[in-house]
Amino acid sequence: MTLRQLRQIASDLGVTLYSRKSKDELVAEISARKDEPGEEISSAPASAEVPLDEPPPLKSIEASMPPAPRPTAETSVVFLPRDPQWAYVFWDISEEDRAAAFAAGASQLCLRVADVTGLSGGSAHPHTLQEVVVDSHATEWYLPVPLSDRDYRVELGYRKGSGGGWISLAFSSVARVPALHPSDQILDQFVPFTLEANAPAAVAAPTPAAAPADTGLHERLYQTATSQWRRISRGSEAFHELDSSGLDSSELNASGLGIWASGRSDSGIGGVAPRQRSFWLVADAELIVYGATDPSAKLSIGGEDVPLSADGTFRVQVPFRDGRQIYPIEAVAADGVQKRNITLEFSRNTPEDNSNPADQAVAEWF
C-alpha cells in the first residue's frame, strides 16, 4: 500500500497522529489494531492495491467546472504621446460593442488620428485625419505622429466592408505632442540703457505689437518707491548727491541713470610719463518686477498704471540703487469690486565703489 492508503486506514481505525507517522509506524499501528475484537482489516499483501474512495483528479474537476467569470469590459481608447514622433495607443472593446459592430458589417478595426489644435467641441482641422488599420485582436499600437507640437485626438472604430461606412466606438482625450526642437520664443523683454556717455543707443528688443512704447514708466516707478527714503542716502546713491565733489548734478536723473550710473571716483592726475595706462570699470544692477493677473484687470504699482499683456502677465524692469525701495502692487477686477494686492520691499547696499566710466579714466603709473 502507499503511504496515503495507510493513512486512510489509520484514520478509519482511529490511530492518533497518523499524519506524522512514517510508513513503518503506520504498518505497526494498523497491525496492532488488526488483532483487536471488532476490527476487520484486509490481509492482502502490501503490493496489492486496496480500492479506496480517492478524490477525483484535478483535471477532471477543472473540466467539470464552468469557465471563470471575466470582468465586463468597457469600450475605451487612451492616447499617450511617447515623444515628438511617436505615440502609444491602447484600447478595450466590450463584447456587446464588438458583437454589435460585426452585426452591422464591420470588417477592419482602425484608429483615426485627428489634429484638434486650438479647436473645441469635438471638431478637427480639415484634411488632417489619418486612418491606421490595426489587428482585430490587438489591444495596443504605436502610431507615427504627423507633426509635433500639436494637439491630437484618436478615434477607435470599425470600417465596414462593402459600403465603406464607419462604425465609431470611442474617442480618446486630447493630448499635446511635445515639440521636436526647443522653442525659439524669448519671453524676457528688457528696458535698454547704457552706462557710457558716448556709447551709441542700444537697440530695443523686439516686443509684441500690442505692447505700448516705453514712456519712462520704470523711472516713475523708481521715484515712487524711493520718494520717502530719499533723505537717507547710502553708498553709491549718497555719492551721486554730493555737490561738493564737483559733479554736475544736471547729468543725473532721480534714479541715477546716465553716465554716473555706477558712481565716479577721482584717482588723481599725475604727470605724463612714457609708461602709464588708464583703466575704468562700470557696474550696476536692476530690479525686475513681474507677475500675472486677470487680463481684464487694472494693475498699478505705487499708484502708477502698468500695462498688461494679452495673457495678463506684466514685467517691469526698474533701477535698483542703494537704499530702501517699496513697490505696492494692486490689481482691481473689471467690475471694480474684487481687489488683490502685494507689497514688495527691497534694500541695496554698496559697501565699496571704486568705479569710473571710460571717458573719465585717468592715466596711472604701473
Name the band, by pLDDT with cuts 50, 70 and 90, for residue 50.
very low
In the chain, the number of structural domains is 3
Model confidence at 200, pLDDT cuts 50, 70, 90, reads: very low
**Contact status, residue 327 vs residue 344, Cβ threshold 8 Å:** yes
Co-location of 300 and 252 in the same domain: yes
Is pLDDT at 310 greater than 70 in this prediction? yes
Helix (H, G, I), strand (E, B) or coil at 71: coil
pLDDT at 152 over 80: yes
Of 66-75, 108-117, 273-282, the range with the lowest mean pLDDT is 273-282
Q: Of the residues 144, 176, 208, which one is the last residue of a structural domain?
A: 176
Query: Do residue 86 and residue 50 come from a single domain?
Result: no
pLDDT of residue 54: 63
Kindly state whether residues 129 and 258 are assigned to the same domain: no
Q: Indicate whether 332 and 230 sit together in one domain.
A: yes
Average pLDDT over residues 285-308: 90
Mean pLDDT along residues 291-314: 90
The three cell numbers locating residue 160: 465596414
pLDDT recorded at residue 233 = 47
Whether 42 and 118 share a structural domain = no
Nearest to 111 by CA among 80, 90, 137: 90
Residues 226 and 346 in one domain: yes
Q: Are residues 149 and 226 both part of a single domain?
A: no
Neighbour count for residue 67 (Cβ, 10 Å):
5
Decide which of 112, 146, 176 is a domain's last residue. Answer: 176
pLDDT higher at 55 or 197: 55
Query: 247 or 165: whose pLDDT is higher?
Result: 165
Q: Which domain holds residue 255?
A: 217-365
Q: Is the dihedral of CA 219, 225, 231, 236 positive or negative?
A: negative
158 pLDDT exceeds 90?
yes
pLDDT digits (tens, 9 = 90+) for 223-242: 887 776 555 444 444 444 44
**Residue-averaged pLDDT of the chain:** 76
pLDDT at 327: 92
| 167 lies in the same domain as 274 | no
* Pair (81, 58) in one structural domain: no
**Structural domain includes residue 106:** yes
Q: Which residue has the higher pLDDT, 71 or 148?
A: 148
Average confidence (pLDDT) over 324-352? 92
265, 350 contact by CB (below 8 A): no
User: Is residue 277 in some structural domain?
Assistant: yes
Which pLDDT band, with edges at 50, 70 and 90, does 110 fall under?
very high
- pTM for this model (two decimals): 0.36
Q: In the predicted model, is pLDDT for residue 93 greater than 60?
A: yes
d(CA 111, CA 141): 9
CB contact at 8 A, 252 and 238: no
In-domain check, residue 191? no
* Three cell numbers, residue 86: 511617436
pLDDT surpassing 60 at residue 360: yes
Of the candidates 176, 206, 226, which is a domain's last residue?
Answer: 176
Check residues 244 and 255 and name the one with the higher pLDDT. 255
Same domain, 295 and 247: yes
Average pLDDT rounded to a whole number, residues 314-329:
90
Distance CA 17, CA 15 (A): 7
Packing angle between helix 3-13 and helix 23-34, nearest 10 degrees?
40
pLDDT at residue 34 is higher than 80 = no
Q: Residue 193 falls within a domain, yes or no? A: no
If asked whether residues 223 and 359 sit together in one domain, one would say: yes
157 plus 50 within the same structural domain: no
Phi, psi for 166 (deg, rounded to 5) = -130, 135
Which of 202-206, 226-230, 244-248 is modeled with the greatest confidence? Answer: 226-230
**Does the pLDDT of residue 59 top 60, yes or no?**
yes
